[in-house]
Amino acid sequence: MDYRALYENKDFGIIKFDEKLKNYTNFGIGGSADVLVEVKEEYQLVDLLKFNMENGIESTILGNGTNILVTDKGIRGCVIIISKNYDRISLDGNLLKVSAGSLLSKASKFSFKNSLTGMEEVSGIPGSVGGAVAMNAGAYGVEMKDIIKSVRLISKDGEILEYDNKDMDFSYRHSRVFDDDLIVSEAIFELKKDNQEKIYEKFDDFTNRRVSKQPLDKKSAGSTFKRPLGSYASKLIDECGLRGYKRGDCQVSEKHCGFLINNGHASCEEMINFIEEVSSIVFEKTGFKLEREVKIIGER
């Protein structure tokens, strides 16, 4: 398919061809996309989705590139980036309206400046609001389901939908976004007024905890495994003597065993094998089966 001719002069945003996806993921891993489009406006996203549907082209959505592992063969069809260009934040009383491409950290800091509490715990999650809502991301006991009022979504054929919190089917690292193959366009957070000094004290506390315990300077997708019932992935991995364990450029972080990191030029297949190896060792030694939280996307 001649993608260049097909997408030429279309008002969809920034359009690139044969773009390396490793530059768009926190893991720094992944092959190329046939077409990559960085959308700026909701109408561009809707038009692009409809265009791709009409032309039989698969649409794959990427946010800030956290929590994903792109295969070495890359992604066929059109990769749509909803990130820094799809970024608007506004306030109406205690309701914070945020576009899907905005960083959760940026939205959190905006709320703090306006003396709103509720996002201190999740302020350090290194992803976009869209990705956080889709997977019901959480930290320190607070998840998206606890602070979301409503979500604006778009189907793969370009239909715009509005769902209240109760309609999102939020559960641990899950929402109906995955079940119905939807795309988050915007979220409204319902927060509470509080003393700004107290808010920043909480924010500083959670920030210090993250900086001291997590390998934020390394290439990783965050927590690699979901929390197993009755324990913690990082605790189990550490107890199995795997802290700092390496295979090639793949490594269990010495700082936080729940983070698997790419020390250089690890391939997707190498990282997948490493993830499976760590999970297998933990199962053999403890009986706990670690389920991967990181999502693998692309051609296998």
Which pLDDT value is given to residue 108?
Answer: 98
Helices 104-113 and 196-213: crossing angle in degrees, nearest 10, is 150
Q: Is pLDDT above 90 for 4?
A: yes
Quick one: DSSP state of residue 168? G
Residue 208 forms part of a structural domain: no
Q: Which of 32, 64, 81 is the last residue of a domain?
A: 81
Residue 43 near residue 82 (C-beta atoms within 8 A) = no
b/e 140-177 (16+ beta carbons within 10 angstroms → b) = eebbbbbbbebbbbbebebeeeebebeebebeebbbbb
In this structure, what CATH number is given to the domain that contains residue 253? 3.90.78.10
Residue 221 in domain: yes
128 and 189: one domain?
yes
Which CATH number goes with the domain that contains 194?
3.30.465.10
81, 105, 127 - which closes a domain: 81
Nearest to 203 by CA among 120, 299, 266, 261: 120
pLDDT 10s digits, 68-101: 999 999 999 999 999 999 999 999 999 999 999 9
Q: Give rounded-to-5 percent helix, strand, coil for the chain.
A: 30, 30, 40
The answer to whether residue 212 sits within a structural domain is no
DSSP 59: E
Provide the number of structural domains found in the chain: 3
Q: Could you say which of 152, 170, 198 is where a domain stops?
A: 198
Residue 280: which domain range? 217-297
Neighbours of 246 (CB within 10 A): 12
Local structure of 211: helix, strand or coil: helix
Q: Which residues contact 72 (CB under 8 A, 6 or more apart)?
A: 29, 30, 31, 267, 268, 269, 298
Contacts of residues 212-218 at CB distance under 8 Å and 24 or more positions apart, as own/partner, are: 213/255, 213/256, 214/255, 214/256, 214/259, 215/253, 215/254, 215/255, 215/256, 215/259, 215/261, 216/126, 218/253, 218/259, 218/261, 218/262, 218/263
Please state the length of the chain.
300
Residues 111 and 131 sit within 8 Å (Cβ to Cβ): no
Tell me if 207 is assigned to some domain: no
pLDDT of residue 38: 98
Burial of 56 (0-12, 13-18, 19+ CB in 10 A): exposed
CA 120 from centroid of its chain's CA atoms: 18
Q: Is the same domain home to 243 and 289?
A: yes
Q: Distance between CA atoms of 89 and 111, rounded to whole angstroms? A: 10
- Average pLDDT of the chain to the nearest whole number: 96
Say what the pLDDT of residue 222 is: 87
The pLDDT, as a whole number, for residue 285 is 97
Rounded Cα distance, 76 and 96, in Å:
36
- DSSP one-letter code for 227: P
Same domain, 230 and 262: yes
pTM of the model: 0.93
What is the model's pLDDT at position 123? 96
pLDDT at 71: 98
Average pLDDT over residues 261-280: 97
Within-domain flag for 204: no
Residues forming the active site: 173, 223, 293
- pLDDT, tens only, 11-34: 999 999 999 999 999 999 999 999
DSSP SS3 for 292:
strand
pLDDT higher than 90, residue 220: yes
* Percentage of the chain modeled with pLDDT above 90: 96
For 90-145, what is each residue's pLDDT tens digit?
999 999 999 999 999 999 999 999 999 999 999 999 899 999 999 999 999 999 99
- Mean pLDDT to the nearest integer, 233-243: 98
- Local confidence band at 162 (pLDDT 50, 70, 90 cut-offs): very high
Percent of all residues in the chain with a pLDDT value above 70, rounded to a whole number: 100
CATH number of the domain that residue 75 is part of: 3.30.43.10
Same domain assignment for residues 237 and 188? no
